[in-house]
Amino acid sequence: MNLALSIFTVVAAMAQAPVIVKGTYTTGRGPCEWLPDGSRRWPLLRGFTIDTVYRGTVRARYVGLQQPAGLSEGTTYLVLLRPAPPALEHLADPDAGPGLRGALGVDEVVAVFEQRR
């Protein structure tokens, strides 16, 4: 019964996701950002290095998340997304680097499933 429920959950989530990628979760320091007072900061970036694109136009090598929860560094995940139009443009840009401005909000993430080997 749990297997059938899990398959139903994945299929239902896939129907809602125009973008599906497989990626490895990573964290790291982002590019330097200048603040209005002249100081600098290096934000903490959290997101996925994209390994495979299954659905959607994704040419960026990285997709960031604003509020990831419960994800393990170095683990591979199937990531189902419903990005807003500005985020779609960011994902379609092969030169888009990691940064907070392109990070997806919680409402743009349909589901994240750990890939088991």
In the chain the domains, ranked by start, together with CATH numbers, are 2-114 (2.40.50)
- Region 52-66: mean pLDDT is 93
Rounded distance between C-alpha atoms, residue 65 and residue 99, angstroms: 10
Q: At residue 3, does pLDDT exceed 90?
A: no
Q: At residue 58, does pLDDT exceed 90?
A: yes
- Region 37-46: mean pLDDT is 91
Cβ–Cβ under 8 Å, residues 108 and 87: yes
57 or 102: whose pLDDT is higher?
57
Most confident option among 35-39, 41-45, 67-71, 85-89:
35-39
- Tell me what pLDDT residue 5 has: 47
Cβ–Cβ under 8 Å, residues 46 and 77: no
